[in-house]
Amino acid sequence: MINSQFFSNCAADSIREAAATLKAGHLVAFPTETVYGLGADARNPEAVKRIYEVKGRPSDHPLIVHISSINQMEKWAKEIPEYAIDLARAFWPGPMTLILKRTEIAQDFITGGQETVGLRVPSDPIAQALIQEFEKISDSAIAAPSANRFGHVSPTSCADVQEELGEYLFGYDLVLDGGRSLIGIESTIIDCTSSSPVILRSGFITKEEIESILEEIGVEQASPYGVKFSGSFEKHYAPKCKVILGESTNTSAGFVALLGIETPRGMARLASPATIEEFAHVLYSTFRKADREGLSELVVHPPKEEGLGVAILERLKKAAQGR
């Protein structure tokens, strides 16, 4: 059942109404270049509480605060290291989240009680317009996790959001339709609370790209189970069907591989991305397609573990082991 309203024409008046909806303490799901987010006023504890209820997410699991530009950084974060500023200058607006020491404005209900806050400046024009408009009327910013039920696949279209959360949203909540997410997988999360940065979650911004900005100090990749972040729970990014990396003898399975790789006999080809970027772009929609078609197994021919392939494999491994 679909309870919330949705706007497919995100012109200035819709953006103003969406910002007012957030100000009133309601929820607004909105497109970003990575995946769709479920937004609330980051300074309103009741509104943020509803995000957790709608997602079915444990309340100690922190949320990313979405700000309009680098100029808003010092409002939410303090003791910002020089390298974090360099990263922000290089990759914002864009698919990168920085974990920084929080100021008092980032309260426990956002950070899961941690002394750090996650900040991101999205580049999607609808997300940008909404955040700018909301900052204008609120002296706040937008807290938003991916707009899916906890542990499920992130939504990359307005229809995905409706499918995930439609029955949990209320009539005064809103969903903004911005078409398909450009990138299709979540942001790269970088912990900037020590003397050198650590990648907590791989994403569209690769380790190599980060290293090219931070030539001297470099960047580490965290072990996937060290801290509380997306995928540190089992069954993350997982569709209902079983995800198999590599080979399977189940000839009625769905199959995904880069263009040029042959479909094993009997399997149903669900996607043939021509590039690694396209692989990321179609990954989650292919998971959803497999479920819609009622397949019991989805066999994925894994991309090489390099560049953007690292982020895709991180998600595929979680999806495969989370069964």
**Residues found near ligand TXA in the complex (CB under 6 A):** 32, 34-35, 37, 61-64, 97, 99, 111, 114, 116-118, 120, 144-146, 186-187, 189, 227-230
For the bound state, the minimum distance from the C-beta of residue 293 to ligand TXA, rounded and expressed in Å, comes to 26
Cβ-based nearer residue to ligand TXA, 173 or 186: 186
- Nearest-angstrom CA–CA distance, 319 and 323: 7
Closest separation in Å from C-beta 56 to ligand TXA: 13
DSSP notation for 192-246: -SSSS-EEEE--SS-HHHHHHH-TTT--EE--TTSSS-TTSSSS-S--SSEEEES
Give the type of residue at 144.
A
**Residue placing its CB nearer to ligand TXA in the complex, 21 or 146:** 146
In the set 14, 44, 140, 146, which binds Mg ion (CB under 5 A)?
A: 146
Nearer to ligand TXA, 280 or 299 (CB): 280
Of 230 and 286, nearer to ligand TXA (C-beta) is 230
Residue 280 binds: one of ligand TXA, Mg ion, none (C-beta under 5 to 8 A by kind): none
- Cβ 212 to Mg ion, closest distance in Å? 27
The two three-digit tokens of residue 150, written as one number? 């906890």
Q: Which does 64 bind (CB under 5 to 8 A by kind): Mg ion, ligand TXA, none?
A: ligand TXA
The encoded tokens of residue 41 equal: 């006023």
Nearest to 286 by CA among 156, 96, 165: 156
Burial of 258 per CB tally in 10 Å (0-12, 13-18, 19+): middle
Give the position of tokens 């949990």: 168
How far is residue 192's CA from residue 102's CA, in Å, rounded to a whole number? 11
Q: Does 97 bind Mg ion (CB under 5 A)?
A: no
d(CA 34, CA 245): 23
Nearest residue to Mg ion, using CB? 146
CA 318, CA 299: separation in Å to the nearest integer? Answer: 14
Q: Which parts of 186-225 interact with Mg ion (CB under 5 A)? A: none
Residue 120 Cβ vs Mg ion, minimum distance, rounded to whole Å? 13
Q: Which residue lies nearer to ligand TXA by CB, 117 or 316?
A: 117
Interface with Mg ion (CB under 5 A): 146, 230
